[in-house]
Amino acid sequence: MKKLLATAILAGLAAPQAAMAAEEVNVYSYRQPFLVEPMFKEFTAETGIKVNVKFAKKGLAEKLEQEGKYSPADVILTTDISRLVELSDKQLVQPVDSKVIDSNIPAQFRDNEDEWFALTLRSRNVYSSRDRVGKLPADFDYSDLAKPEWKGKICTRSGKHPYNISLVSSMIAHYGEAETKTWLEGVKANLARKPQGNDRAQVKAVKEGLCDLAIGNSYYLGKMVNDDKQKSWAEAVYINFPGQENFGTHVNVSGMAMAKYAPNKDNAQKLMEFLTGEQAQQMYAEVNYEYPVKEGVKRSALVASWGDFKADDLSLDKVAQYHSTAIKLLDEVKFDL
């Protein structure tokens, strides 16, 4: 009898402990800690669900493949449409059926099978020298980067970087493979130097007079403005939104997906729904100078000062379809060499 009683008591104690242990969610993230931890703390305060995070600079898809069904990952946070599609193509994620997410995220910015969802937007801009060029005309388009007048005046990072691959993919979607290849050849001929560095390095090159135009994401301007060592770079350029009288400015995303074998599926969905809500979207916008993907959420004051722009309404699913073709064209024109 005593043994049975002891067993019953232990079982009673174990049940609430198991319930408490279940109140957690595990996140694999490419996004930097300072960007997401404030949101996770707010989520925990609201729900009582603890968020455990593993940060990485690369290799999350490979890690998930290695772990297989034993992976502790519930939610994956990543940057760039190509990485989201990679997770889907490798069958490392699962669909999420959520009316909350669907109402917060426009159809253009989520997978048509509900396997990934955008969280923030970043535009692919052209920066121009304030001193030597000034603000670019309202009808400036990406196609203009291949015009002879810009020969030796353009700086960019590697064409093989995901940000540029996505831009080239969108050009293929709009203009076709042959025309995009001709465009790439023209842009390559106009480069001031071999592609190198990151987006901020291109703006620095404009400041130093190495080139007059630089291709870069919008949020880097916010980062430079708020960095004492880089503020002078930002002050040397204008930010321009190409395509305003055509298809619009190309946009890319940061996003999320639920891991295929998520052990805390319900909590994972709660976190994903929270990240698409107004509070989290506002926090993203303020911290990283990105554009909220949820309509009606206020931009940060700095981002708002750059002005409104028309974004290309091309579905990100469509853009992703041409990624392999974009890489092939970049290789054919030897863009990085």
On whether 219 is known to bind a ligand per the annotation, the reply is yes
User: Is 145:190 a contact under the CB 8 Å cutoff?
Assistant: yes
SS3 category, 50: strand
In 3D space, the residue among 81, 18, 24 whose CA is nearest the CA of residue 53 turns out to be 24
Instruction: Give per-residue burial for 10-31: e unless 16+ CB within 10 Å, then b.
Output: eeeeeeeeeeeeeebbbbbbbb
Query: Sign of torsion, CA 92 97 103 104?
Result: negative
CB-count burial class (<10 Å; 0-12, 13-18, 19+) for 324: exposed
On whether 220 is known to bind a ligand per the annotation, the reply is yes
Write down how long the chain is. 337
How many Å apart are CA 60 and CA 17, to the nearest integer?
A: 31
How many Å apart are CA 168 and CA 233, to the nearest integer?
A: 26
Binding positions = 219-220
Binding positions for Fe cation = 219-220
